[in-house]
């Protein structure tokens, strides 16, 4: 499963900075990231119908572009330990303070 069909028009507000027609095979991670960060229930339902759980989990684990809030939520949903989520790592911490440091 993946982007075998165009991204539907109802998702256009999530992709304010790109032409929907330009999104296709090879852009799966980008589309998943936007939906994980900004998607509503219909967008998430479309994502679940379009992409495999393995593809979504890979994005949750590896993306640097997920917000901390989204990364925390989706890690909880998919039962991924926070230390396995790149967006929750010390290098992603905008405060510059590593977890556990004083």
What pLDDT tens digit does each residue of the chain (102 aa) get? 678 788 999 999 999 999 999 999 999 999 999 999 999 999 999 999 999 999 999 999 999 999 999 999 999 999 999 999 999 986 554 444 444 444
Q: How far is CA 96 from CA 13, 90, 93, in A?
A: 32, 7, 6
Coil, helix or strand for 14?
helix
What is the Cα–Cα distance from 15 to 96, expressed in whole angstroms? Answer: 30
Per-residue model confidence (pLDDT) at position 90: 62
Per-residue model confidence (pLDDT) at position 92: 53
Whose CA is closest to 56, among 41, 37, 82, 69?
Answer: 37
What is the Cα–Cα distance from 89 to 102, expressed in whole angstroms? Answer: 17
What is the Cα–Cα distance from 28 to 2, expressed in whole angstroms? Answer: 7
């Amino acid at each position: 499963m993946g982007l075998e069909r165009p991204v539907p028009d109802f998702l256009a507000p999530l992709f304010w900075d790109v032409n929907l027609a330009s999104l296709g095979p090879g852009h799966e991670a980008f589309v998943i990231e936007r939906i994980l960060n900004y998607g509503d229930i219909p967008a998430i339902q479309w994502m679940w119908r379009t992409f495999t759980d393995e593809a979504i989990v890979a994005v949750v684990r590896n993306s640097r572009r997920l917000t901390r809030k989204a990364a925390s939520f989706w890690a909880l949903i998919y039962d991924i330990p926070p230390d396995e989520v790149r967006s929750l790592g010390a290098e992603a911490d905008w405060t510059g303070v590593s977890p556990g440091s004083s």
